Structure 1
């Protein structure tokens, strides 16, 4: 079970890092032209970049506490925050695009985060 949690955490951390870097460093206009990025047209540049920084922090929060053994409770907390982020993403994508493939990815990421949160709180505690 612990191995599965590490794999899920690594995958979700990778997704968070890539998404965070793109939101932080790619111009908003370029993001808006990308598939699934239409929502950025209605968001301020500061909001998009802040969301990117939070995603980068989430990537570290999903891995480092468990890896170092320093405050490992931060892993399920980070995963729970990611669940809230994905709920917001689902709502945002639905409002901007209707039901889309991007929403399916958000549901998968939400499921991974739920698995990590519950697993790190119960099984691997």
Structure 2
């Protein structure tokens, strides 16, 4: 079970890292032009960059506390926060009719639920 939690946390951290770097370093206009990036058209640059920063923090929070054995309770807390972020993403993509992205976000949500549940049960 521990190995499965580490693998899942690593995969989700990689997703969060890529998403965070993308939102912080790629201009909002270029993000809007990408498939699935339509949500950025009505968002401010500050909002997009804030989401990117939250995703970078999530990437760190899913791995570092357990790896360094410093406040490991932060791993399930981060996973629960990721669940909230994914609910928001699912609502946003659903409103735009991007149901494939809603499904992708639901998979990320399930991975985070597995991480949170696995750490809280241990």
Instruction: Identify whether the pair has TM-score above 0.5, normalized to the shorter chain.
Output: yes
Q: Measure the CA separation in 2 of the matches of 1:99 and 1:18.
A: 20
1:118 and 2:102 aligned: no
How far off is 1:13 after superposition? Answer: 0.1
Residue matched to 2:83: 83
Rounded Cα–Cα distance in structure 2 between residues aligned with 1:120 and 1:81: 14
RMSD: 0.7
Does 1:74 pair with 2:74?
yes
Distance 1:71 1:110 in 2: 23
Structure 1 runs (4+) deviating above 2 angstroms are none
User: How far does residue 55 in structure 1 lie from its aligned partner after superposition?
Assistant: 0.3
TM-score by length of 1: 0.96
1:45-90 per-position Cα deviation (integer Å, ceiling 9, x unaligned)? 0000010011001000000000000000000000000000000000
Aligned length: 122
Gapped runs of 5+ residues in structure 1?
none
